Amino acid sequence: MPLELASALVHMGWTENLKDTERYSRQIVATDQFLKLFPSATPFQTKMPRTIEDYRPGYPRFTALISAHEPFFMCRRFIKLRARILLLKQDRLSMLEQKLEQVDHEEASPLFLAKSRWDKNSERASLLSEIEASLSDYDQFTERTFQMLNIGRTCERDVESLQHWLDGTGSLAREEREYLTHRDDLASLAPTRDSAMAQIETWIEDKLVILLPSQHKVREPNGQAESN
């Protein structure tokens, strides 16, 4: 073992030739003993990259597939829910607006309306504070909704590929993969692909489907394809 290790040291540039073995004999022996105690620390050990099949079935394997293929990063926008919440927040602000107008109309002291520094109406102060908080919440929600609505839509082919993979592996319960059936509500979080390249990929996949009609392939980064 010391001689083998010395050869490795030469190869790694730690020594110039094997004649230096005697000079480094103590270091070699110490290193040999260290590697026996801690085999995981050896520089000659290489760790093979994990494939999707190395992960346990269920969410571990499904998330491994998604993280390895960016177009599979898709999620629901929940447009109807956003519309419902937006309408409620909007209506609440409308009611606060009407209430403020009523408080101003019933103000007994015109001076309080002309100079806010002298305004002693506690109801108006409390109402304005509530309006400010509601407006801030409303603005944040509308901005987030705007961003979500402007996220690119998913590619139909990517959705179908993901569904085929789930149907073939059964990695997730049916109700927990139901989100893929809401096609009009799905958003793609992946960067926009070049349109020309996407067209070429689509053409190639169409030809493969014609040649292999019984195969539903899911592209994976490791070059392998999962067939159902």
Neighbours of 150 (CB within 10 A): 8
What is the pLDDT, as a whole number, of residue 29? 56
127: three-class secondary structure by DSSP: helix
Distance of alpha carbon 53 from alpha carbon 175, whole angstroms: 23
Instruction: Indicate yes or no: pTM above 0.75.
Output: no
**Which of 175, 152, 176, 157 has its CA nearest to residue 218?**
157
For the segment 24-61, what is each residue's pLDDT rounded down to a tens digit?
555 555 555 655 665 555 555 556 788 999 999 999 99
- pLDDT at 196 (0 to 100): 47
Task: Give the residues of the chain that fall short of pLDDT 50.
Answer: 1-2, 5-6, 9-10, 12-16, 21, 195-196, 214-217, 219-221, 223-228
Give every CB contact of residue 25 below 8 A, 6+ residues apart in sequence: 2
pLDDT at 14: 46
Supply the pLDDT for residue 3: 52
The DSSP secondary-structure symbol of 51 reads P
Q: Give me the pLDDT at residue 79, please.
A: 96
Angle at 82 between CA 81 and CA 86, to 5 degrees: 120
Show the beta-strand stretches assigned E in 12-167.
74-76
Whether residue 134 contacts residue 92, with contact meaning beta carbons closer than 8 Å, is answered with yes
45-57 burial code (b ≥16 CB/10 A, e <16) = eeeeeeebeebee
Instruction: Tell me how far CA of residue 98 lies from CA of 88, 93, 125, 207, 219, in angstroms.
Output: 15, 9, 15, 63, 57
